Amino acid sequence: MKDTFKHKGLRQKLVHIIKTKGIKEEKVLKAISNVPRHLFMDSGFLDHAYQDKAFPISADQTISQPYTVAFQTELLDVKPGDKILEIGTGSGYQTAVLCELGAKVFSIERQQELFKKTKIFLPKLGYRPKKLIFGDGYMGLEEEAPFDSIVVTAGAPFVPKPLLSQLKIGGRLVIPVGEDVQIMTLFIRNDIKEFEQHEFGEFRFVPLLEDKN
Ligand code: SAH
């Protein structure tokens, strides 16, 4: 597993690209420039790793587009020590970005193959999420709630209630909502029953699957 000067150079170009697309926060850009994305792909497709594109990984899933990862991460407004729940671990790329920002990350994946692979892989790169869970993200993670923020990295046909109820007051849920196309949506919990909602345009994700799909 190598991360060479060439890879680092390609990452700087990628950071430049996502900056021109509107990502502003320095610490997010720094995280993207630190995570060796090529190592999260099956056999290091160098040509693809540092294009700003989603890419297929095993089990019919994808590693999210870097711009999308950066966009969701900006919306999370991560502070060091934040307790964050991610739904859809996948390759672990978003998990690694959150670890770079000093978050305590809990992440749930429903595909067993991916779960196992990523659990072994992340520590090899020095990323130590608090907990990786094999299970169904629709339920959130009640035993570890409440969270400073929750990020869903698959397209949700609706907003699962448990995710809203597992936020701290002041906590943020970033979730792409919709069937074929998703609207990136941010919920901020202002009070026990009061949520502020903001929408940020269209994105495309693989679906957040319900069990037995
Ligand atoms: N965060 C990943 C994106 C992976 S794509 C990255 O950075 O690359 C979305 C992931 O969500 C897939 O791995 C998929 O298997 C997973 N997923 C889909 N439905 C789910 C559910 N109900 N619970 C948990 N994970 C789910």
Tens-binned pLDDT, residue by residue, of the chain (213 aa): 789 999 999 999 999 999 999 999 999 999 999 999 999 987 656 678 899 998 888 777 888 999 999 999 999 999 999 999 999 999 999 999 999 999 999 999 999 999 999 999 999 999 999 999 999 999 999 999 999 999 999 999 999 999 999 999 999 999 999 999 999 999 999 999 999 999 999 999 999 998 754
The dihedral region occupied by 212, where left means phi > 0, alpha psi between -120 and 50, and beta the remainder, is: left
Which of 52, 61, 68, 121 maximizes ligand 1 atoms within 8 Å of its Cβ, making it the mutation to test the pocket?
A: 61
Q: What is d(CA 36, CA 152) in angstroms, rounded to the nearest whole number?
A: 22
Q: What is the pLDDT of residue 153?
A: 97
- Please name the residue whose Cα sits nearest to atom 17 of ligand 1: 88
Which of 62, 133, 208 maximizes ligand 1 atoms within 8 Å of its Cβ, making it the mutation to test the pocket?
A: 208
Q: What is the pLDDT of residue 48?
A: 84
Q: What is the pLDDT of residue 140?
A: 97
Annotation says 64 is catalytic: yes
Do residues 78 and 72 make contact, with C-beta atoms less than 8 angstroms apart?
no
Residue type, 130: K
Bridge partners for 187 per DSSP: 173, 197
Helices (H), the chain: 5-20, 26-34, 46-49, 66-76, 93-100, 112-124, 161-165
Q: What is the pLDDT of residue 211?
A: 73
Do residues 122 and 100 make contact, with C-beta atoms less than 8 angstroms apart?
no
* Cα 109 to ligand 1 centroid, rounded to whole Å: 6
Q: What is the pLDDT of residue 42?
A: 76
Q: What is the pLDDT of residue 47?
A: 74
Nearest atom (ligand 1) to Cα of 208: 19
Of 64, 91, 107, 149, the catalytic one is 64
Contacts of 167 (CB under 8 A, 6+ apart): 146, 147, 149, 150, 173, 187, 189
Q: What is the pLDDT of residue 61?
A: 82
Kindly list the structural domains of the chain, giving each domain's residue range(s) and its CATH number in brackets, ordered by start: 5-203 (3.40.50.150)
* Cα 128 to ligand 1 centroid, rounded to whole Å: 19
CA dihedral (165, 112, 62, 31) positive or negative: positive
Nearest atom (ligand 1) to Cα of 93: 7
Do residues 110 and 209 make contact, with C-beta atoms less than 8 angstroms apart?
yes
* Cα 88 to ligand 1 centroid, rounded to whole Å: 3
